[in-house]
Amino acid sequence: MQKGFGLIRILIVIGIIAGIGALVFKSVSLDKNPFMSSAEEKSAIDMAEQMKDVVEKKNNETMQTDDVANENIGSTDLTDLVDRVTEKLHPRLREIIDQESPDDYVEVVINLQESASREDIIKSFQSYDVTVMEQYFIINGFLARVSVKNIERIAIHPDVISVSPRFGGEPPPSN
């Protein structure tokens, strides 16, 4: 019989706690409801969403340079693009592109913008069958083995400053 009274006592205590909780919840004004966002919190959330959109837009713009062959660009844009790629390529690489088979490989030094993330660039170049042979730390760059057909694609990347052959064909300095 005492077990029944113990259960009733527990239920009474739970009911009292629930009643106090309901009373406290009703006494809180609606603008201070802990389950509703305040104006300042909504503003902070909106700003965070806007920043997220800006970052996503910037990432998408960077990734759009991935493959020029699939882009729908006008002839003046294409001319500008060719000029930019040509400026980034060492003259010896231009000869290699013109003379060698597209499936041949060449070792190149890829020099990046100082602010560029080398690791992110290397990841983005994986689809171009790039094999990193050595990473440089005095300059933001790396030595890589690349197929001839992908040299220009690499040069298109906005964070690439220059692409040079490992051995440029220049004679060594003389004394």
d(CA 113, CA 118): 9
Q: Are 118 and 112 in contact (CB under 8 A)?
A: yes
Instruction: Tell me which DSSP letter residue 172 carries.
Output: P
Mean pLDDT of the chain: 75
Q: What is the mean pLDDT of residues 18-26?
A: 70
Q: What is the mean pLDDT of residues 95-106?
A: 89
pLDDT at 83: 62
pLDDT at 70: 47
pLDDT in tens, 27-86: 555 555 555 666 666 666 666 666 666 666 666 665 555 444 444 444 456 666 666 667
Name the 3-class secondary structure at 110.
Answer: strand
pLDDT at 108: 92
Tokens, residue 174: 């003389």
Q: Are 143 and 134 in contact (CB under 8 A)?
A: yes
Per domain, the residue ranges of the chain are: 74-165
Residue 122 CB partners (closer than 8 Å, separation 6+): 130, 132, 142
pLDDT at 132: 93
Most confident of 3-7, 94-98, 102-106: 102-106
Q: Are 91 and 98 in contact (CB under 8 A)?
A: no
Radius of gyration of the chain, Cα coordinates, nearest whole angstrom = 32
pLDDT at 96: 87
CATH superfamily of 74-165: Peptidase S8 propeptide/proteinase inhibitor I9 (3.30.70.80)
d(CA 85, CA 157): 9
Which of residues 89 and 39 earns the better pLDDT score? 89
pLDDT at 174: 73
